[in-house]
Structure 1
Amino acid sequence: MIAVLTGDVINSANYPPESWLVDLKSLLESLGSNPEDWEIYRGDEFQVRLNASEALQTAIRIKAQLKRRKGMDVRIGIGLGEESYRAAKVSESNGPAYQASGGVFDRLRDEKLHLQLSSGNAAADTGMNLMLKLASDFMDDWSPVSAEAILKVLQSPGVSQEQMACELGIQQSAVSQRLSRARLDLLEELLSYYTKQYLKSIR
């Protein structure tokens, strides 16, 4: 089973592409090869193929990366399933995971949501998507500084608040406040549930 992320950047027109596109490409390059594993097309849309266990954390990393800029955000539809055809370009590959990703992504705008998933297991998906909808209440409200703090935690698991404070040039207490406001505690519980319960339920 693989995961496919289909997404688009919200309010990208408010920023020059060079201010955010380089960072997004750098993040995607850490996940695989272009264009076999990821592509950016039509300016601000993208698709990524990756291991199912990494899908939700990667989606949230992308969100945190972009939300470091005020007013910017992302919509991402995650599809989980099999891959029946792998092409030289991820946008030309096919299978249930790709179809699920495109289907859920197409619904996001109409439902005014930023992050949902689909695996074909209706019961498991309903519960997981409710959690994502509730989590979006705080993730969509991340300030640029909170998003930056979350990004550092996700990129460097185990990093201490003291290390983060040194890198950001702020006090450790300020790092603690930013992570608390960003609800890191709930985010970690969500990611744990995704990998330990949800994925097992759909395999």
Structure 2
Amino acid sequence: MIAVITGDIVNSRTEIASKWQPALKSVLNQYGKEPKHWEIYRGDSFQLRLKPGIALMAATHIKSTIRQIPGLDVRMAIGIGTIDAEAKKVTEVTGSAFIRSGSRFDELGKQMLVIDTGQADLNDTLNLMISLALLTINSWSETVAMTITTSIENPQKNQSELAAILKKTQSSISEALKRGGYDEIKKLNKYYQSKIGQL
């Protein structure tokens, strides 16, 4: 069982690739190696394969990274399933995880993040929860996005330590995490992990 995230950068044509591509590569590199685990293709699209349990937080991590760049955002679809055959490049691998991720991505519309676990009832529940979370996530400022990225990348550090990294006060870190709904995102992720663990 694996997870596949298929995504693309929203408004990428308004910025030169050198503005956002290094940031995207940097975050994808934290989840695997190119091109076996991730690839950027067609200019502004990407695919990442990873363990199912970390897929939702990885998508949040990608989102918070890209939202630090003014005017840009990212749309993603997470597919959970199996692999039929391995390949040297992630974009050449086949299996239900890739089919679910790709077909959900093609149907995204205005929704910025969806998931397909292969189970309709679970999909409905998780996608409703994700759509509610997106009401907050889609309005992250660059400061909130940066604070959440730093928190995701340093899960063992407390707010004072995060403040030292970002050269900010502890109270401003606390406020940014609260505005970004980070506690609620972690609760959503815990619920997601418990359900994915049962598949």
> 1:114 maps to which residue?
112
Q: Which residue of 2 aligns with 1:199?
A: 196
Query: Following the alignment from structure 2 to structure 1, what is the Cα–Cα distance between the partners of residues 185 and 167?
Result: 24
Q: Deviations over 1:63-115 (max 9, x none)?
A: 00000112211000000001011111111100000000001101112xx1000
CA RMSD after TM alignment = 1.0
Q: TM-score, normalization: structure 2? A: 0.97
- Local SS of the residue matching 2:126: helix
Equivalent position amino acid for 1:154 in 2: I
For residue 151 of structure 2, what is the aligned residue in structure 1? 153
Contact 2:81–2:96 under 8 Å retained in 1? yes
Name the amino acid aligned to 1:77. Answer: A
Deviation per residue, 1:103-156 (Å, 9 max, x gap): 1101112xx100001021001111001000110000000000000111111111
Structure 1 range deviating more: 37-46 or 22-31: 22-31
Where in structure 2 are the equivalents of 1:17-166 lying within 5 Å?
A: 17-109=17-109, 112-166=110-164
Residues matched between the structures, number: 199
Using the alignment, how far apart are the partners of 1:27 and 1:57 within structure 2? Answer: 12
Segments of 4+ moved more than 4 angstroms: none
Tell me, in whole angstroms, the C-alpha distance in 2 between the residues paired with 1:39 and 1:96: 19
Which residue of the partner structure matches residue 10 of structure 1? 10
Shift in Å, 1:200 = 3.2
Cross-structure match for 1:186: 184
Deviations 1:155-198 (A, max 9, x none): 110211111212222211111111111111111111111112x2
Which amino acid is the alignment partner of residue 45 of structure 1? S
In structure 1, what residue type is equivalent to 2:143? V
Kept after mapping to 1: 8 A contact 2:38/2:49? yes
| Offset at residue 33 of structure 1 (A) | 1.6
Structure 1, unaligned stretches of length 5 or more? none
Q: Percent identity?
A: 38
**Contact 2:53-2:197 at 8 Å conserved across structures:** no
Output the CA distance in 1 between the equivalents of 2:167 and 2:187. 28
Moved more, 12-21 or 116-125: 12-21
Instruction: Tell me, in whole angstroms, the C-alpha distance in 2 between the residues paired with 1:164 and 1:154.
Output: 10
So what's the TM-score if we normalise by structure 1? Answer: 0.95
Q: Provide the secondary structure at the position in 1 that maps to 2:39.
A: strand
Give unpaired runs (5+ residues) of structure 2.
none
